[in-house]
Structure 1
C-alpha cells in the first residue's frame, strides 16, 4: 500500500541553537503527518567546526583536542537544554563515546573517506537529537542514517545511484514504525560502505532526491528566508516574494549562481511527482515560494539577480573555434559545470565564461582534462567582476525589459551581455561595482510597470451583457487599485465573436460586428500569440463544449473565471486533473459564480478549510426558482397555475422542467461537496425529480399543456406535510458520511429554510467550528445582476493575486 509522504528539510541555520531546535520541532508537529520524512543538516556551524578540527589535526596542532572538546560540549549543551534528564543522559553518553572515536580517527591517516566519516557526525547528531525531541513532544519519531540507503561513488559532485538506492530505501522505510523519520542530509555511502559526502548544498539535494525515491508529494525546504524574491531583499527593500516559479526558471536562477536554490536540488523534480516549497523556519507565516514542474507561457522577467564575485575564464582554441567551443560547453554542462554566462567572440576565436568563485576551480580542472579533446590552446583567468541578470521565461522576447536592461548596463563598465538560448535569462558581466544602486533602479524600472491582463469572454447573454456593463463601470477603479492594465480582448457567442488585442470597448462589444467564426483550433492559435502578461478567460455560458477546453486553457497558462457548472460537476477524475493542471501551470480557476450567484458560499468554504477547519455537512435550498414556488404554494392555487405564473415572470428557465428536474441543484451540491473535501460523482447524489417520467419526454408545448398532471402529487405532498405541522421545500444536503440527496422534503414551519424571501437561496454549513450552530448564508441565489457581481468579485480576487 503506497503512502502519501511529504519531505521537510531543515538547514544548519534553522538548527543553530536550542531555541531553533524547539521552533523546528513545533513546525514539524504542525506541518507534517506520520510517515513524513524530515531531512536535517548539521546544527549551526558544526560542519565548519569539524573542518577546522580536521585542518588542525593535519598540522598536528595541539589545539585539536581543545577544539574537539568545545564542539562536543556544544552538542552536549543542546541535548541537556532540550531533553528530559533520562533521555539526555543516554545521548550525552553516546556523545562521549563518539568523542573518543573522533579523536582516534584524527590521530590516524586523514584520507578522503576518513574525513567524510568525521564530517558525517554533524548530520547524525542533528537527526538523533531532533527525533528524540519530537518523541518527547508526543510527536513520535525515529532517525535514519542516509548512508544505509543513499549510494554514490566518490567524485567532485557525487550523484545518487537511483537504481541501487531505491530498493534500499524501501527496505529501511518498511522496517520503521508508522512515525515521522528524521533522516541525515548530505551523506551517503559508496559500494564498499565508505562515507561519501554529496558536496556543495548536498543536504538540499538529498532532500529532493529522497522525495523522488520515496515518491513523495512535496519537499519543503525550510531555511532563514521565505523563498525567492524578485530581487535580493537585503539590497532591494521593495522586492516581492514570488509565490510561484516554474521549474525551468528556478533552474536558470540557480545555474546563474543564486544562493537560495541550487541546480542539483532541482534535478530530481523532473523525474518525480514532487513539488518544492521554500519557506522560512523563523517565520512560517511569512509566505512561501512554490516551484512547480511545468513551464508556462510568459514573456517577462520575474527576477533581477546578481553575483558580486565572478571569475572570468578566457579560452582560445587551436582550430575550428565554433565547433570546439560548442562541444566544450556541452561537456561542461553534462558535468554540472556550465558557466553562469558566456560570450563567444568569433573574430578573435575566444570563449569567455563567467564562473562563481565556488565553482571556478572545479571548472578549471575539468577544462584542463578536456583541453586536448577540444583543442584548447590557452586559458586565462581574470578576477574582479560581477554579474547582473534578468530571469524569467521569455524575457529575451520582451522588448521593453530588454531595452531597459541595455540602457542601464550601457552606463556601467560592461564586458558583455548574453541571452540564454532558451530565453530564460539575460546576463551581463561588468567590472566590479557597487551593485545595490543598479539593482534598485533595474527593479523599479522593470517591475513597477503595470502588468497587462487581457480578458476574453465567452457568453453574450443576459449575464454576459450585465458583466460587460459592470466591467466598463469598474475598469478604471480596478486599474487604480492594482498595478494592472485591463484590456477586453475578445467577446464570443456560441458561433462567432470579436478578437482584438488592441482592446474592445466593453459597452460596444455586444453590438460590434463579429470578425471571427468560433473554430477552437484557430482561436487557440491566435490566443497563443497574445501580447499580455496574463490572459483571463471568462466563461459566462452554460455550455459543456466550452468547459471541455478548460484543460487546454490551463496548459497554456490562462486563468479561468466561470459561471459554468459543467467542469466543476464533471467526473471526479476530470475534476481532479483540472485542479492539478491549473496548479501545475500557475493558473487560477475561480468558480464562485457557479453556486449561489453573488453569495460567498464557495469562498467561505475555502477560507474555513484554509484556516484548518473541517466541513462536516452542507444543506439548504439552492434554487431561486424552486424557492419561490414553494414559498408561494399553499394549496389554494393549483401548482400548475403557480408554475405558469413563474414562467410568465421569467423566474423559470424557458423549459420549466430544467428547474423542476433538480439537475441544476444536484450539480451545485456536487460542486460545494468537492470544495468541502468530499470525493463524489454526480450519480452518488440521490435525486428526486419533480417531473413525472411521462412528462419528461414530451415536447415543450405538450409539457406546458400537460402541467396540470403536477397538481395532484404536489397537493398531496403539501397536505401530508400540513397534517404534521410542516411545509414542503426542495432541499439539497450532504452528511458527514458523504451521503448526498436532492429532492422534496417536509420541514418544520419554524425551520430557517421554511421562511425565506421570494427567490432566496440558503446554505447551512456545518463544520468542526460551526457544529452546534451552522454557518448560514442567505440571499438572492440567481439573477443577472448578482451573478455578474460574483464574476466581477472573482476578477477582483484574481487582480489581487496577480499584483
Structure 2
C-alpha cells in the first residue's frame, strides 16, 4: 500500500482537484491507497484571518467567511453533477454554519484562545477532504472518508508530540476494518488524549501522511506538491536550480530545516525508522521524475546536494569576561530560552569563551533580549557581561550534502565565492558530521548568495556576468553589438553568460534583471527613466547581482568620480574613460586600493591603446621582476591618422574633421590635438610603472596656436583650424625638408615624461606607422637595446569596444 499526500496548491480549486482525482484513480488500479489532503490553497490563512478579525471586533470577518464559503461552493458546483449537489452543498453549508457560530462567539468575547484557533483552522481540511471524496465517488472510485481526529492522538501538553502507542493502535484497527481501495483523510487535524480537537501545526498534513505510512508499513510515501521535487536551491530565486533525483533522509531533513518547504522535518522521522521511501512529485507534471528520499544514496559524485536558506533571522550576541571558564553558563542561557519557547537555529562560540552568538527567528528577538538580560542581570550589573545585542535583517544560507564529509576545501570555496561578491559573513556553523555548512549573512544578500553558490557548486562552469553599461555612442553601441554577436561563442567555448542588466546614455537609463534584449536596446532605452549617474549606481547596488561589472564608455568626468562607489560594493569597473586614472594621484591610488580591498577588478586597458595590450604587457613586465628604463610611444590614433593623411594639397581642417567623423577622436577633438589625451596616457603608463606623478608634471609641447587652445566650443575650434592653416602647412613643410614624418610622441624616461610633435627619420620604428596605429617601445633591464614593441590599431570604435570586451572577459575568466 502507498500513502499519497496532496498539498494546498494541489487542491486549490476544482481544476486542480480534477488532476488529483485522476492521479489517485490511476494509482489505485495498481494497489490500495491512503490519501491525505490539505485545505484548499490559501484557505487556512483565511480561516486564521477570520478568527483574528473576529477577536478584534472587526466585522470584516463576515466577508472573509463569505469568501471561504464561495470558494468551497464553487468547487462543489464544478465537481459534482447538479443532480447530486444538494446533499453535498447541504453538508458543506452545515460545516460553514458551525464555523460562523465559532467566529460569532469569538467576536462577542473579543478573545481567540489557542484551542478555538485550532478548531477554526481545522475546517479547511475537513471541508476539502469531504468535497474531494464526493467528487472521487462521482468518478467511480471505491473511496471512503475517514476523520483523522479519530485515529491520530497527541499528548495533552505538547504542540507536536504524538501518542504513538494509541495512534498506531487506532490506525491498525481501522486498517483491519477498511475494505475500500482508497481511503481519504483530512491532514493537519488530530485530537488530544482527553478528546479535545487540535492540529499538528506547520506541515501538519505531511506529518499526518507520515504517521499513517509508518503505522501501516507502507511501501512508499508520496508527497504531491507544485514543484517537481526538492531542488538544488529555491527555484524562485535561482533560475538555474534543478530537481535532485535522489537524496538521503539526512539531507532531506537538513534542507527542509533550512527552508526547503517541499517537505517538513517532522514528516521524515516516522518513515525514517521504518525505512519507507518518500517520493516528492509534481501534481501538475505527474510525468516528471521527482525526488526519491531513502536512507542512503550511493551513486552521487557531487559533494554538495543542495543550498537552502532561512529568511528573517536575528543574531543574539553575548560578550564578556564573565563567561570565560564558568561552568553552567550555557545551561542557564539555553534553559532561559527554552522556558520562553524560543527556538535556537544556529550557535557559534569563540574558543576563548568570551562571546557566544545565537541565530533565532526575528519575531523572537526582543523577547530573547528581555529574557537573557533578566537572566544575567547580576553579571551585567557587575560589568562582567555586556547587555545582549540584537542584529536584525539577517538570513542563514546552508550548503548540505552527505558527500561533504572529509571533502577538503568546501568551506574555503564557499567563503571565497561569497567574499568575491561582497557578501559579508556574520557567523559560521559546521557540525562534526560535515553534512551542513551554515553561514549568517545580511538578508538583502540572499538572492546574490544563493545564485553565486549555485553557480560555483552546481552549474557546468558557466559563469554569469551582469553588466551595467553607461555610454552607448560610437564605442558603446559597438560593444553591445559585439556582445550580442559573440553570445553563443562565449557560452559554448568560454562558459560565460553575459547579460546587460543596466543601460544608460546621457538622457535615459533602463534596468532589467533578466537582461536587456540587445537586438532592440535602442527602443528599450527610449522608454527608460531620466538618466542620473548616481541613481544608476544606486539601482545597480539595490539589484545586488552577483558578478556585477560597471562599464563606462564615456569621457564624462562626473561618471569617473563615482568609480569608487562601485568598487566599494565589490562591483568590477571596466572603462575606456581616462579621466579617473589621469586624475590626481591620490584618486588613482584610492581606486587601486579599493580594487584590492574589495576584490573588485578595475580594468582600463583601453585608456592607453584602445584594443592593444599595452597596460597588460607593462604590468606583466613589472610583475615578473623587470625594471622600466624608458617608454617611447605614439599613443594617439587620432593624431597619427591626422599627420599620416595631412599632405601637401590637403587642408588640416578637413583631415581633422574626417578623423572626428570616422570615430578616431574624442567628441571634442581639441582634447586629442592639444596633447592632453596623450599626456593622460603616458601619465597612466608612468603610474603603472610605479612613478608618483601628476598631469601637471608632464611637459606638453603643443603644436596648436594659443588661440586654438583657448576656443570655447567644438565649432569654434574647427573654425580656428581654418584660420591657422598656414601655421599647420609650415609645420608639414619643415618635416618634409628634413625627409621626416610628423609623429606626436610621448616619452617617459628618468622619471620624467613629455609629449609633443616630433620629426621622425626614416630609420626610426615610428616612421612607417600607418593609419591610426599606435606603437609603444618598452626599454627595460631585459630589453635594453632592442625594445619590446607593442603595435597595432590604436583608435576607432570597433577596436576600443573590443578592448573593453576583452577586459570584461578577463574578469569572467577569473
TM-score, normalised via structure 2 length: 0.51
1:283-682 maps to which residues of 2 (within 5 A)?
283-294=285-296, 300-315=303-318, 319=323, 320=325, 324-325=329-330, 339-347=344-352, 349-357=354-362, 379-395=388-404, 397-410=406-419, 411-448=422-459
How far apart, in 2, do the equivalents of 1:231 and 1:82 lie? 36
1:96-111 maps to which residues of 2 (within 5 A)?
96-108=93-105, 110-111=112-113
User: SS where residue 13 of structure 1 aligns?
Assistant: coil
How far apart, in 2, do the equivalents of 1:328 and 1:126 lie? 44
The Cα shift of 1:364 comes to: 8.2
Contact 1:301 1:392 in 2 (8 A): yes
1:326–1:63 distance in 2 versus 1, CA, 3 Å? closer
Contact 2:156 2:194 in 1 (8 A): no
Q: Does residue 1:79 correspond to 2:88, yes or no?
A: no
1:132 aligned to which of 134, 142, 151? 134
The Cα shift of 1:151 comes to: 0.6
The Cα shift of 1:433 comes to: 2.9
* Partner of residue 179, structure 1: 181
* Partner of residue 259, structure 2: 257
Per-residue displacement from partner, 1:47-104 (whole Å, max 9, x unpaired)?
Answer: 1111111112112222233322331122111111101223321111112222322222
Contact 2:187 2:206 in 1 (8 A): yes
Contact 1:36 1:180 in 2 (8 A): yes
User: SS where residue 279 of structure 1 aligns?
Assistant: strand
Per-residue displacement from partner, 1:322-370 (whole Å, max 9, x unpaired)?
Answer: 7543786699899997644321124363321223447879988998999
* Partner of residue 8, structure 1: 4
1:213 aligned to which of 199, 215, 227? 215
The Cα shift of 1:229 comes to: 1.4
Per-residue displacement from partner, 1:3-43 (whole Å, max 9, x unpaired)?
Answer: xx211111111111110100111111123455311111111
1:139–1:196 distance in 2 versus 1, CA, 3 Å? same
* Partner of residue 43, structure 2: 46
Contact 2:7 2:225 in 1 (8 A): yes
1:36–1:175 distance in 2 versus 1, CA, 3 Å? same
2:225 aligned to which of 203, 216, 223? 223
How far apart, in 1, do the equivalents of 2:341 and 2:275 lie? 23
Contact 1:307 1:356 in 2 (8 A): no
* Partner of residue 20, structure 1: 16
Contact 2:156 2:193 in 1 (8 A): no
The Cα shift of 1:282 comes to: 1.1
1:356–1:275 distance in 2 versus 1, CA, 3 Å? farther
User: SS where residue 37 of structure 1 aligns?
Assistant: strand
Q: Comparing 339-348 with 7-16, which one deviates more in the overlay?
A: 339-348
1:136–1:322 distance in 2 versus 1, CA, 3 Å? farther
How far apart, in 2, do the equivalents of 1:331 and 1:268 lie? 30
Per-residue displacement from partner, 1:247-281 (whole Å, max 9, x unpaired)?
Answer: 11111122233322221121212322311111111
Contact 1:14 1:222 in 2 (8 A): yes
Q: Comparing 346-355 with 45-54, which one deviates more in the overlay?
A: 346-355
How far apart, in 2, do the equivalents of 1:335 and 1:251 lie? 25
The Cα shift of 1:449 comes to: 6.2
Contact 1:153 1:196 in 2 (8 A): no
The Cα shift of 1:200 comes to: 1.3
How far apart, in 2, do the equivalents of 1:210 and 1:329 lie? 34
The Cα shift of 1:222 comes to: 0.7
1:337–1:156 distance in 2 versus 1, CA, 3 Å? farther
User: SS where residue 312 of structure 2 aligns?
Assistant: strand
Contact 1:187 1:195 in 2 (8 A): yes
1:223-242 maps to which residues of 2 (within 5 A)?
223-242=225-244
How far apart, in 2, do the equivalents of 1:367 and 1:216 lie? 46
Contact 1:395 1:426 in 2 (8 A): no
Contact 2:80 2:135 in 1 (8 A): yes
How far apart, in 1, do the equivalents of 2:41 and 2:238 lie? 27
Structure showing greater Rg: 2
Contact 2:365 2:390 in 1 (8 A): no
1:104–1:231 distance in 2 versus 1, CA, 3 Å? closer
1:259–1:322 distance in 2 versus 1, CA, 3 Å? farther
Contact 2:246 2:297 in 1 (8 A): no
The Cα shift of 1:219 comes to: 0.9
Per-residue displacement from partner, 1:158-212 (whole Å, max 9, x unpaired)?
Answer: 2211011111112233333322011011111012211111111111122112211
The Cα shift of 1:226 comes to: 0.9
1:95 aligned to which of 75, 92, 110? 92
User: SS where residue 78 of structure 2 aligns?
Assistant: helix
Contact 1:41 1:123 in 2 (8 A): yes
1:431–1:87 distance in 2 versus 1, CA, 3 Å? same
How far apart, in 2, do the equivalents of 1:371 and 1:220 lie? 48
Q: Comparing 323-332 with 23-32, which one deviates more in the overlay?
A: 323-332
User: SS where residue 397 of structure 1 aligns?
Assistant: coil
Q: Comparing 106-115 with 92-101, which one deviates more in the overlay?
A: 106-115
Contact 1:207 1:219 in 2 (8 A): yes
The Cα shift of 1:285 comes to: 1.5
Contact 2:153 2:162 in 1 (8 A): yes
TM-score, normalised via structure 1 length: 0.51
1:82–1:209 distance in 2 versus 1, CA, 3 Å? same
How far apart, in 1, do the equivalents of 2:153 and 2:36 lie? 17
Contact 2:69 2:96 in 1 (8 A): yes
| Count of residue pairs brought into register by the alignment | 448
1:211–1:321 distance in 2 versus 1, CA, 3 Å? farther
Question: Structure 1 unaligned runs (5+)?
Answer: 451-479, 484-803
1:761-776 maps to which residues of 2 (within 5 A)?
none
How far apart, in 1, do the equivalents of 2:54 and 2:363 lie? 25
Question: Structure 2 unaligned runs (5+)?
Answer: 107-111, 462-491, 496-814
Contact 1:395 1:402 in 2 (8 A): no
How far apart, in 2, do the equivalents of 1:245 and 1:193 lie? 38
